[in-house]
Amino acid sequence: MAKGKVITVAQQKGGSGKTTLAVNLGVMLVRSGAKVAFLDTDPQGSLGRWFMTRAEDGRGDGMDLSTASAWGVGYEVGKLRDMADFVIIDTPPKADSDLRPALRVADLVIVPVASSHVDLWATDGVLDLTRREGREVLVVLNRARASTRLGAEILEAAQALDATLAETQIANRVAYAETLGQGLGAIEGARSPAIRAELDALMAEVQAKLAEA
């Protein structure tokens, strides 16, 4: 059996939607027939809470959850890659040496950027660490406000980053927050064609980047 691919979701600033993105990527992968192992390295434990809520409702098929501190990431991922097609790591909001183990094991680092200049500025530290580790990176505009002047400014600035910017933007929709609290992915709890379209498009981009890795 081939070893699973590792996706690390990282951003220095809190509130960028890391956990929401990790959860929805995982749900989409499971729905495509893959087995996914989540690794929660954020002491806040939001990913773990989401998973336990889901498991209590009998929706845990195709998924597993582990937790680790920074120093335990390499060991834990080594085990998880043998039992899952994909390992998705949710990380604390920081860009320091504690983040490096989660970057080092990644086949792809996804960096969500919410629609604010502060979020965009916070991206520099994560991108610098990712470059030092020689990892593939995909910046994703998350909670995007595409039809606003701010949204246009953030898009233009993000396009100037020294990193691949996903063509897909994840819109600022209440459904993402609501379904997270219910132990669901947005595609499960909100029957919205727009949500399905943007998550399908993002998955295609993620899988294309993983194929390059």
Q: How does pLDDT run across 114-137, given as a tens digit for each residue?
A: 877 788 888 888 999 999 999 999
Whose tokens are 């860009």? That residue is: 95
The predicted pLDDT at position 102 comes to 96
Question: Could you tell me which CATH class the domain 5-212 is placed in?
Answer: alpha beta
How far the first Cα of the chain sits from its last, in Å, is 18
Percentage, residues of the chain above pLDDT 70: 99
In whole angstroms, give the CA distance from residue 81 to residue 86. 7
Q: Tell whether the model's pLDDT for residue 197 goes beyond 90.
A: yes
Tell me the two tokens of residue 90: 């949710």
- Each domain of the chain, given as residue ranges in start order, spans 5-212
Q: How many angstroms separate the CA atoms of 9 and 179, rounded? A: 19
Q: For residue range 133-164, list pLDDT tens digits in order.
A: 999 999 998 887 777 776 777 777 778 788 88
Residue 77: phi and psi, rounded to 5, are -65, -35
How would you classify the pairing of strands 108-113 and 5-9? parallel
* Helices marked H in the chain: 18-31, 46-56, 73-83, 100-104, 117-133, 149-159, 174-181, 186-189, 193-212
Residue 184: pLDDT above 70?
yes
